[in-house]
Chains A and B, each alone.
Chain A
Amino acid sequence: MSKKEGQIRIPSGCAIAAVISREGRRMSGEKIVEAMKPMHARSNGLGGGFAAYGIYPQYRDFYAFHLFFDNRDARKDCERYLKENFEIVQAEVIPTRNLPQITNVPMIWRYFLSPFASVLVRENIREEDLVSRTVMTINEGMDGAYVFSSGKNMGAFKAVGYPEDVGAFYKLEEYQGYSWTAHGRYPTNTPGWWGGAHPFTLLDYSIVHNGEISSYDANRRFLEMFGYRCSLQTDTEVIAYMMDYLLRVQKLSLEDAAAVAAAPFWSTIENNPDPKERQRLTYLRTVFPSLLITGPFSIVLGFNGGLMALNDRLKLRSMVTGEKDDLVFIASEEAAIRVMEPEAENIHAPAGGQAVIVKVKEGAY
């Protein structure tokens, strides 16, 4: 019997795209779904997904958990576990559209959760850590239940299928978000499991990723020291946890996190004319050697209020950016940007290791 994702490591190649409004203007998911169509050949139908920010304004203070369940018992067990630490403010089935292209559909639920203050006090734990721990516990330990989104006022939508079909399946045209990321998957070996599709998320961090990183196990084994459990064995998962660790736990800036994950070569650092910059880069590389990512990748990291695009330091994967008015576009191919905005300007291929950071105007999200 072939092994399920998580029991075996599955590398994959992919397509990514993203759009964000710097003004915090919300837009439907239609545009990003369309953008994936010209990159159809970069996926093979074994995974597609989207992350959307700003989609649950009415529940903005609650953790939006998206879960796959294999069966009713798994859901019941999981709900029982959630209720130990959280108030379930709202529980509902995520609306989907029946499509012949999307098969083997699991139960897909959405919960808006509020952690019990008593639990936080009793366990002397911060809210985010409790959420993170809950996600790890369910994904590692609960058969038939899988959390694929856990942030506030954001959500991931993913499935086995081509991304444009996945978008239609989840009725993304009915959601309004100020920032969207998308992913089409080309895993190099089957079976392609729903949980294995991108984006991969933890709290409000989401990652879509194109590439296969050769540093995977070095990164994974380092992160697992800090309670992360890489149950899916995918690159994307490890990158998502890495960003959570660097940004939330170590409180590094996005620029510093990028300088860890795609650290400049020592020779580049030494040739930097600015001594302060040399000191910063040397320090980050020395302190976080195990979080350097090698091998090809292009990622878009989504978070509340912005996104960051990053290429590996050799730029072994394509990635271009473009702009139009308040919108910023990122995609594996310019064609995808042109679909979203035929008049896109400043089309640019960022250099390897050069982080592209886009932030929404403060207060606009």
Chain B
Amino acid sequence: MGIDYIYPEFEVIRNESRCVTCQVCQRQCANEVHRYDPDLGRMLSDETKCVGCHRCVSLCPTHALKIVKNDCAFRENANWQTGAIKEIYKQASSGGVLLSSMGSPAPLSVYWDKLLLNASQVTNPSIDPLREPMETRVYLGKKPGLVDRDDKGNLTYALEPQLELSMPVMFSAMSYGSISYNAHKSLAMAAQKLGIFYNTGEGGLHEDFYCYGGNTIVQVASGRFGVYKDYLDAGAAVEIKMGQGAKPGIGGHLPGAKIVGDVSRTRMIPEGSDAISPAPHHDIYSIEDLRQLVYSLKEATEYKKPVIVKVAAVHNIAAIASGVARSGADIIAIDGFRGGTGAAPTRIRDNVGIPIELALAAVDQRLREEGIRSQVSLVVGGSIRSASDVVKAVALGADACYIATGALLALGCHLCRTCHTGRCNWGIATQRPDLVKRLNPEVGCQRLVNLLTAWNHEIKELMGGMGINSIEALRGNRLMLRGVGLTETELRILGVAHAGE
């Protein structure tokens, strides 16, 4: 109160003429914003607690609720904007690092929106995906430089392990602990149904989910939580997490309060202890160390599973990726600076790293210049929002995309960005049993399947328009892209001509 008081961010507008006082809002708000007052016979709200998650708005049967941005304003100042002022107050009060959840809300450049796709006209036919086959299957993994032949010169058909994806999209790493059991189960079920992969993140693999192993990428991160032989064996691929787009150079911290029951058992750490992932892997201080971990994991899995190395998009990403490609990784996953997180220091999230579009373009070009592009597959994430983002990423050079925020939105997330409070009203970023059960995995799975089925239709439509009937002919096909409103430098890095050229 007093000097620390910050006027609530949202205003709960209740249309009294529509409210039937059913109290659904009250029962559904874990933040306890809504309360029925029997004396007044109506609902009251405590707006200081509202995070803008819209659970009440979505469930109100008479649509009597809306949440609006508060207009209580500081004196206008282009330099000291409201957010900056409030952050000063918070830090002056707490003395702490500011924490945020999900991807950065700052108005950072979104290059996807400045890239436009081509379509066939006259000189070659567009292809109708409803009438002709249209293929989106992708194989991730190393491709041989020269085909392998036996003594007689016949092809041996020997191949490094590959991941087969029905479409170029996977669910990226979100740990059990940062998200709920039911969220994980939804992702696992959907990945299996769709013929793609989900990723355990650094939380281990819950014993109930080993049955989805064929569609699981198991992650090995700097804390090594939940990593043991059966875990590595369970997955279809192993991912070494070196960095995350939302917080490059920063480790992770899941508070002890969330390390309860199954989460503790799955992570293989005692209940109530903080799960701290160090910023670096303490056995990887250089590229040659990475090679050792890559090959340790390959040894452990008998060279049957591709190893993914996930890095955050940072300034020197092209050289880093080249080093990773030469370290034996089968797949490189690059996470751009708009990527999401369960919790990250705000300053890091909003100021460190580079956009995925530029990172992807630079890495793809660099690997080609070095002639090693076929040695690795490229997976990109960090705010892939739609089918057209996927198509543009593939045209820039990606083999596949990682999505996480998009998947959470499909599960009900409304991007209120308060995952770190653990009171997710949608049953996603929480371990509270009464909240976790709000996400029925049957429903969650269906929604994820719906989302990606819809995307796949859209990808096919976009490809068909370009006269391309197989996704591999789109990969790295930058002639299918044109830039609008980009500088010469941006166009050069993207390897794309300006619209009209």
Q: Footprint of B on A, CB under 8 Å? A: 9, 11-13, 188, 211-219, 221-222, 224-226, 249-252, 256, 263, 265-267, 279-280, 283, 285-290, 292-296, 313-314, 316
Contacts and interface: CB of A to CB of B under 8 A. Distances in A.
Contacts of A285: 472
B479 A292 contact: no
B157 A314 contact: no
A272 to B, nearest CB: 15
B123 A188 contact: yes
Nearest to B141: A286
A115 to B, nearest CB: 23
Given A214-B468, A250-B146, A279-B157, A222 B125 contact: no
Interface stretch (B252-260, B304-312, B366-374, B422-430): B366-374
13 contacts: A212-B467, A216-B477, A217-B478, A252-B147, A266-B135, A266-B137, A280-B155, A287-B159, A290-B374, A293-B473, A294-B470, A296-B467, A314-B132
Interface in B51-98: none
Interface of B: 120, 122-125, 127, 132-133, 135, 137, 139, 143-144, 146-147, 149, 153, 155, 157, 159, 162, 368-369, 371-374, 397, 466-470, 472-480
A294 B469 CA distance: 6
A12 B123 CA distance: 7
A283 B159 contact: yes
B476 A218 contact: yes
Contact of B476 (A221, A256, A287, A288): A221
B163 to A, nearest CB: 11
B123 A13 contact: yes
Contacts of A256: 155
Nearest to B473: A215
B157 A283 contact: yes
B248 to A, nearest CB: 28
A212 B466 CA distance: 11
> Considering residues B371, B397, B476, B480, which has the most beta carbons from chain A within 10 angstroms of its beta carbon?
B476
Given A295-B467, A316-B125, A286 B477 contact: no
> Considering residues A263, A267, A283, which has the most beta carbons from chain B within 10 angstroms of its beta carbon?
A283
B476 A295 contact: no
A225 B478 contact: no
A295 B467 CA distance: 6
A280 B478 CA distance: 30
Contact of A314 (B143, B373, B469, B474): B469
B368 A212 contact: no
B368 A265 contact: no
B469 to A, nearest CB: 5
A136 to B, nearest CB: 15
Given A225-B374, A286-B162, A289-B139, A214 B466 contact: yes
A296 B478 CA distance: 19
Nearest to B501: A8
A156 B310 CA distance: 50
B382 to A, nearest CB: 23
A285 B372 CA distance: 19
B473 A283 contact: no
Contacts of A287: 143-144, 147, 159
Nearest to A9: B479
Contact of A217 (B132, B374, B472, B480): B480
Nearest to B367: A225
A280 B147 CA distance: 12
A28 to B, nearest CB: 34
Contacts of A295: 120, 124, 467-468, 473
Contacts of B372: 225
Given A287-B159, A314-B132, 8 more contacts: A214-B468, A217-B477, A225-B371, A280-B155, A287-B144, A287-B147, A292-B473, A295-B120
Contacts of B159: 283, 286-287
Contacts of A222: 368, 373-374, 476
A294 B123 CA distance: 14
Given A12-B123, A211-B124, A215-B468, A265 B473 contact: no
Contacts of A251: 147, 149, 153
A290 B155 contact: no
A169 B371 CA distance: 42
A218 B124 contact: no
Contacts of A212: 123-124, 467
Contacts of A216: 477, 479
A212 B124 CA distance: 6
Contacts of A13: 123
A347 B479 CA distance: 38
Contact of A218 (B146, B147, B369, B472): B472
B365 to A, nearest CB: 9
A214 B476 contact: no
Contacts of B472: 218, 285, 289-290, 292
Contacts of B147: 250-252, 287
A216 to B, nearest CB: 6
Nearest to A282: B157
Given A283-B159, A296-B124, A265 B476 contact: no
A280 B157 CA distance: 7
Given A266-B137, A286-B143, A11 B470 contact: no
A214 B467 contact: yes
Given A215-B468, A279-B157, A290 B476 contact: yes
B476 A316 contact: no
A282 B371 CA distance: 24
B255 to A, nearest CB: 44
Contacts of B373: 222, 225
Given A216-B479, A287-B147, A314 B139 contact: no
A296 B125 contact: yes
A11 B477 contact: no
Contacts of B124: 11, 211-214, 295-296, 316
Enumerate the 10 nearest inter-chain pairs by beta-carbon distance, A residue then B residue, closest first.
A215-B473, A289-B472, A217-B479, A214-B467, A294-B473, A212-B124, A218-B477, A217-B477, A283-B157, A225-B371
A283 B371 CA distance: 21
A215 B479 CA distance: 9
A296 B149 CA distance: 32
Given A9-B479, A212-B123, A267 B133 contact: yes
A289 B475 contact: yes
> Considering residues B122, B368, B369, B469, which has the most beta carbons from chain A within 10 angstroms of its beta carbon?
B469
Given A217-B476, A221-B476, A286-B162, A294 B368 contact: no
Given A212-B124, A214-B120, A287-B147, A294 B467 contact: yes
A219 B368 CA distance: 12
A76 to B, nearest CB: 33
A249 B374 CA distance: 16
A157 B372 CA distance: 37
A218 B125 contact: no
Nearest to A226: B371
A217 B496 CA distance: 11
B360 to A, nearest CB: 14
A296 B135 CA distance: 16
